[in-house]
Amino acid sequence: MDTIENKTNKRPLSPHLQIYKPQITSILSIFHRFTGVFLAFGLLLSVIFVFFTAMGEETYKWWNCIVNSLVGKGLLFLWLLAIIFHALNGVRYFLWDNDIGMSIPSVKWSGLFVCVLTLVLTCVLGILIWM
Amino acid sequence: MKNVVTHRKFQRYSALAISPLSIWIVYSIICMKGSSFQETYNWFSNPFNAFFMAAFFIISFLHLKLGLQIIIEDYVHNLKHRSLTILSINIACYIFAGIAIFSILTMLF
Amino acid sequence: MVAFNLPKNSKVLKGNRFKLSRDVPNKRALEIYRYDPDSSNNPRVDYFEINMHECGPMVLDALIYIKSQIDSSLTFRRSCREGVCGSCSMNIDGTNTLACIKHIKDVKGVVKIYPLPHMKIIKDLVPDLSDAYKQYASVKPWLQSTMPSKSEKEQLQSPEERKEIDGAYECILCFCCSASCPSYWWNGDKYLGPAALLQAYRWISDSRDESSKSRLEFLKDSFKLYRCHTIMNCTNACPKGLNPAQAISRIKSSIANIE
Ligand code: SF4
Ligand code: SF4
Ligand code: FES
């Protein structure tokens, strides 16, 4: 039966993520989240590192092998990128909380600035660590 | 944390506290590159380093726990699953923070 | 878990094609989301070509042209056709806006038209906004004051006090902002959304209103207000150039201050 209730329940959901044009606003926001989760895993790994160091030379060396491998270096580089982005973008949230920089031009400008600064800082620090 | 306003405050304050600590940690990583086991161990047994390392871990785990709670609340709609996930994250945070402190203390003494 | 994919009955299929002959010089193509509640079919996207010599400059003009010349079953809301009634809000070229003030020439290529995102669709471009209206009503969008009963005169407001509600009272409740907010997509049943919150702010900052405290108390809720993570899609979308994200952030500061 096509009662009103039946029709209401049958109503389809309009497309959302599928059609919305990527906005720099939402992309940076999701990236903030993403780097946050990534850093959470990084924090677990660094706990393991401290633990292995405390357990003595054997475990430390074992760990060092992983860190000096290509995968280890790659992860450390991503960790650097993530922590720098998360910290710099965090500054934007502090400013917004104090009602600073909330117009669309400043939001876009500060977002771009954070991205560029993140890349530059990551490269500089990466060079300092591995050169 | 039940009260949203306190939750927010703690999230912001912990962020403020982590920033200088992480700059110090990245600086330490650069200084200690290529160091031997003994050098690393000695670095940890310095009370100054041990204290700030411990502070970094405790505050980071607090910030992590608060941040993940928001994400879980956003995406997990089933109330039972939600509180279960948040609870297990909290427990994991305490365990890992505990391991970190324990390790730092072993090297200190 | 939140569903990032569309449910089975909402997957969009290919629809009809209405093409013009090759030698029409000034034509534009549009893709329009269609859903017919009287059939059991999934929603579909129809393709139309129109002759721009016969059609006005705005997207709404194109919709009206298609309805009168090509397919009279095309359904959409409109009234003022000058951006003051808020009826014709929809997703055009990937962002939410008002069809009546969006120029066709500002869109490159095929003009893609969908209803407001993540809404229950009644027909074609017409979403069910009853939840959004209920959320609007929940912030009690009216003046709460005991003054008028006591005094015979009107309540005065200084120019400065009046300025406080600039950028908030102009809202036309088109819900472009709420329907652009990912937080509202995932938690729209509990999060009030930027449109309702901007109106809450409008009354909180009105000097004549006497219940700002209870209004703030009402909003002090992990879901009603604090699902806003300052993503800023709302402000980016508002066709009236208002800033709901800023209003929400100010509400948060006010709540932090009364704690
Ligand atoms: S700022 Fe808040 S209301 Fe606006 S889009 Fe973001 S989460 Fe939604
Ligand atoms: S704030 Fe802007 S986008 Fe949101 S409902 Fe009002 S006019 Fe529409
Ligand atoms: S028809 Fe009134 S806002 Fe578009």
For the stretch B45-65, pLDDT in tens is 999 999 999 999 999 999 999
In a domain? residue A2? no
pLDDT of residue C144: 92
Q: Specify the pLDDT at position C153.
A: 77
At the topology level of CATH, where does C130-150+158-258 sit?
Fumarate Reductase Iron-sulfur Protein; Chain B, domain 2 (1.10.1060)
Asked if the Cβ–Cβ distance from B107 to A53 is below 8 Å, we say: yes
The answer to whether residue B80 scores a pLDDT higher than 60 is yes
The residue contributing the CA closest to ligand 2 atom 7 is C171
Looking at the domain assignment, is residue A122 inside a domain? yes
pLDDT in tens, A6-32: 667 789 999 999 999 999 999 999 999
Domain-located, residue A107? yes
Among the listed residues C41, C44, C78, C45, the one whose alpha carbon sits nearest the alpha carbon of residue C61:
C78
The percentage of residues in chain A with a pLDDT greater than 70, rounded to a whole number, is: 95
pLDDT at position A114 over 90? yes
* Dist. CA B85–CA B91, nearest whole Å: 10
What is residue A6's predicted lDDT score, i.e. its pLDDT?
Answer: 64
Which structural domain, as residue segments, surrounds residue A91? Answer: 24-130
Residue A46's pLDDT band, with cuts at 50, 70 and 90, is very high
What are the CA-CA distances from residue C42 to residues C7, C34, C99, C232 (Å)? 11, 9, 24, 32
Q: What is the pLDDT of residue C38?
A: 92
Contact C173, C239 (CB under 8 A): no
- Phi-psi label, residue A42: left if phi above 0, alpha if psi -120 to 50, beta otherwise: alpha
Using pLDDT thresholds of 50, 70 and 90, give the confidence band for residue B31: confident
Is A16 part of a structural domain of the chain? Answer: no
Q: Which fold does the domain C8-127 belong to in CATH?
A: Ubiquitin-like (UB roll) (3.10.20)
> Rg of chain A's alpha carbons, rounded to an integer?
22
Check whether A91 has a pLDDT greater than 70.
yes
pLDDT in tens, C122-165: 999 999 999 999 999 999 999 998 766 666 777 889 999 999 99
Number of domains in chain A: 1
pLDDT for residue C150: 63
B80 in contact with chain C, both atoms CB, cutoff 8 A:
no
Residue C28 host element (H or E): strand C27-34
Look up residue A14 and give its DSSP letter.
P
Element (H, E) at C17: strand C13-18
Domain ranges of chain C: 8-127, 130-150+158-258
CATH of the domain at A100: 1.20.1300.10
Give a yes or no: residue A13 inside a domain. no
| CA-closest residue to ligand 1 atom 2 | C228
pLDDT at C241: 96
Nearest to A60 among B19, B37, B67 (CB): B37
C96: CB partners within 8 A, 6+ apart: C89, C90, C116, C117, C176, C177, C179, C180, C237, C239
User: What is the structure's pLDDT at C175?
Assistant: 98
Tell whether ligand 1 has an atom less than 6 A from the beta carbon of residue C228.
yes
For testing the chain C interface, which of B3, B69, B73 should be mutated: the one with the most C CBs within 10 Å? B73
Q: Which residues of B touch C183 (CB under 8 A)?
A: 74
Going from the N-terminus, what domains does chain B have, and what CATH number goes with each? 2-108 (1.20.1300.10)
C contact residues 197-226, partner B, Cβ 8 Å cutoff = 220-223, 226
What is the DSSP secondary-structure string of A18-55? TTSPP-HHHHHHHHHHHHHHHHHHHHHHHHHHHHHHHT
Confidence class of residue B7 from pLDDT cuts 50, 70 and 90?
Answer: very high
pLDDT tier for residue A128 given thresholds of 50, 70 and 90: confident
Q: Which atom of ligand 1 is nearest to the CA of C197?
A: 3
Contacts of C43 in chain A (CB under 8 A): 12
- Residue C151, pLDDT score: 66
Question: Are B44 and A53 inside 8 Å of each other by CB?
Answer: yes
pTM of the model: 0.92
CB C41 within 8 A of CB C13: yes
Q: Do the domain assignments include residue A6? A: no
Residues in chain C predicted with pLDDT less than 70, given as ranges, are 147-151
Confirm or reject contact between C249 and chain B (CB < 8 A).
no
pLDDT of A4 reads 63
